[in-house]
Amino acid sequence: MAFEFTVDEVDNVGWAQLAFDAPDPAAYLRDFGRVAKDAPRETTPFLILGQGTAQVMAMVDSTDPSVIVDQLQPFAEIAPLVQQQVVIAPYAAVMTMFPESPHHGRGEPVSRSAFTDEITAGFASASADLIRSGASHWYQIRTVGGAVGDVPSDATAYAHRDANFALSVMGSNAQRVDRWFEPIRRQSNGLYLSFESDRDPARLTDAFPPATLKRLRRLKAKLDSDNLFQDNFNVTPAQHDNRRIS
């Protein structure tokens, strides 16, 4: 088996790291969602939200300082800034700014994932409850859209291409995380399976719409009929649909 990739070469970009005072996480989330959804497709922001603080990492596909500042300004106005850094840097340098180091973690983290088209008041409120509960030590919103949304939903296994936001949550206790994450899940539409550690069979149907899952099962029957490859979600071959995810 071989893979062929066609890539776009990217030179310099605008790269911003912004930190905010955010005592009301629900209000910050609502405003971030509004600003991010209205942002030009050249701008891609990620949000890490904690108790009282918010961090935005944003990339602008431009080398024009005025364009970079104009596209970042709406984010800077969401809440009081406590720290900021905006530079023009090579894209490759941004991608490698955190060098690889030995892994010292232990145990298996609990991770949960959700897609949503809009950060509604209910989604923001449920997220704020999760953050305040202390059940999760990591809450991140990634903006999607752009080139992701240009691809037809039935072109790949990743079918939730109409979502504008992807949420990733991590904690250490599954019961505690699920207690506070379930209200968020009820207001979401799908998930990204690489950020989901729950092995409930329902998660498989959350990750793949029916038509997509049917195609995957047929491919699995053709390419891996013995079901050798089972990580990280076990998509069983078509003739084994009654098997449980393991």
For residue 170, give both structure tokens: 């991590």
Residue 13: what residue type? Answer: V
* Cis, bond preceding 12 (omega within 30 deg of 0): no
Mean pLDDT for 30-36 is: 98
* 184-200 confidence digits (pLDDT tens): 999 999 999 999 999 89
For residue 214, give both structure tokens: 């049917």
Q: Are 26 and 35 in contact (CB under 8 A)?
A: no
Separation of CA 244 from chain center: 26
The residue among 166, 125, 130 whose CA lies nearest residue 145 is 166
Half-sphere exposure of 135 (CA within 13 A, CB side): 20
Mean pLDDT for 212-220 is: 95
What is the predicted pLDDT for the residue at 246? 39
The percent of residues in the chain predicted with pLDDT above 70, rounded, is: 97
What is the predicted pLDDT for the residue at 175? 96
* 7-24 confidence digits (pLDDT tens): 888 999 999 999 999 999
For residue 79, give both structure tokens: 């809440």
* 82-125 confidence digits (pLDDT tens): 999 999 999 999 998 877 778 777 778 899 999 999 999 999 99
For residue 213, give both structure tokens: 């899952």
Q: Are 234 and 245 in contact (CB under 8 A)?
A: yes
Any bridge partners for residue 202, and if so which? none
What is the predicted pLDDT for the residue at 240? 53
